[in-house]
Amino acid sequence: MEEGYYNSHFQKGASSNPANYRPVSITSVFGKVMERVVAADMLDYLLSNKLLNSNQHGFLSKRSTLMNLLESISDWTISLENRFANHVAYIDFSRAFDDTVCHPKLLHKLKSYGTEDVLHQWIGNFLTERSHCTRVNSVYSPFEYIRSGVVQGSCLGPLLFLIYICYSECVKSVLCLQCFDAVGWAAGRASGL
């Protein structure tokens, strides 16, 4: 079983609220180098095989959240110019990174994307049989078994999260994915315009 230590990094809000801290895994230099190599190769494979949705903006080069906002505003403006009403919904995935990624489902999705057996097993080992404790100042929590989520502070974690939330191009709605958020909209005729 892999044991890890987390430093808690304050995000925002009341510093007395533990939910306002983000756990960041402390990993070895060798581990980070290995993760970077795996992540770079996986991303190249996903992009070259068009396995990531073209509306994905977070974690991709030249596809920032600013580009997401500019594309959204452009689409909304065109819709309004054509006398359509815009209905917009934002979804915040920021807390999903920690605990909603189901390891068996992620591994199944990776397998369906054509992940080779050795890499698939390596990622499975990377995700499962892990435990962690959190350090705040010089105080350590007891070790806890990690049942879901991806490792925060890792090089591979964001890509695995992206794969987990990515959906097929065949979805017939407009949905732009950012790093930890999604924005969806629909346009329709507004009465009285």
Q: Alpha carbon 84 to chain centroid distance?
A: 32
Q: Determine the Cα–Cα distance for residues 108 and 104; give it in Å rounded to an integer.
A: 6
Name the DSSP class of 103. H
pLDDT digit string (tens) for 21-31?
A: 666 666 778 88
Q: Lowest mean pLDDT: which of 26-30, 43-47, 95-99, 180-184?
A: 180-184
Q: Determine the Cα–Cα distance for residues 144 and 5; give it in Å rounded to an integer.
A: 11
Contacts (Cβ under 8 Å, ≥6 apart) of 14: 20
As a whole number, mean pLDDT of residues 95-112 equals 81
Residue 171's φ and ψ, nearest 5 degrees, are -65, 130
Query: What tokens does 152 get?
Result: 């925060």
Q: Which of 11, 25, 12, 8 is nearest to 135 (CA)?
A: 8
